[in-house]
């Protein structure tokens, strides 16, 4: 079972409108803060704060991109497939199904053939 603070963090993030929209926007395509700012109709500073919290909870990953002019910037991608909330005797339990990196998926499949 996850720590209570971890459960609270995930639930708080998923109930935050901006964090929720960031996850939806980055589900299929990694996006920059500027793109997320436009898509979520929010200031970049708001997006940066939510991105930081989502990364702390391991719900969002980042990658460095080089544009044609030689400038570096980050793009962000959702790192989850599903969230399950269970009502237990002690309260709620939350399980997050995180996305598996293609290399990890290949290794797992390869190991399964041995």
Q: What is the CATH number of the domain that holds 53?
A: 1.10.10.10
CA atoms within 13 A on the CB side of 41: 1
The pLDDT score that the predictor gives to residue 7 is 78
Label residue 77 by pLDDT band (50, 70, 90).
very high
- Rounded-to-integer distance, Cα 88 and Cα 91, Å: 5
Number of domains in the chain: 1
pLDDT of residue 114: 64
**pLDDT for position 59:** 94
**DSSP symbols for 43-108:** -HHHHHHHHHHHHHTTSEEEEEEE-TTS-EEEEEEE--SEEEEEEETTEEEEEEEPPPPHHHHHHH
Over its C-alpha atoms, the chain yields an Rg (Å, rounded) of: 16
Is residue 78's pLDDT more than 90? yes
Calculate the average pLDDT of the chain: 87
Would you give the DSSP letter of residue 41?
T
What pLDDT digit, counting tens, does each position of 19-60 carry? Answer: 999 999 999 999 999 999 999 999 999 999 999 999 999 999
Confidence tier at 1 by pLDDT (50, 70, 90)? very low
Looking at the predicted structure, is the pLDDT value of residue 3 above 80?
no
Distance CA 11, CA 88 (A): 15
Domain that holds residue 30: 4-113
């Amino acid at each position: 079972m996850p720590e209570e603070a971890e459960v609270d963090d995930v639930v708080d993030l998923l109930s935050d409108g901006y964090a929720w929209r960031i996850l939806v926007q980055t589900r299929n395509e990694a996006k920059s803060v500027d793109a997320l700012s436009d898509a979520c109709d929010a200031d970049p500073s708001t997006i940066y704060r939510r991105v930081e919290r989502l990364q702390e909870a391991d719900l969002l990953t980042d990658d460095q991109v080089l544009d044609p002019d030689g400038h570096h910037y980050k793009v962000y991608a959702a790192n989850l497939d599903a969230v399950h909330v269970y009502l237990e005797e002690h309260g709620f339990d939350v399980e997050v199904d995180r996305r598996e990196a293609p290399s990890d998926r290949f290794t797992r499949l390869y190991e399964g053939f041995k």
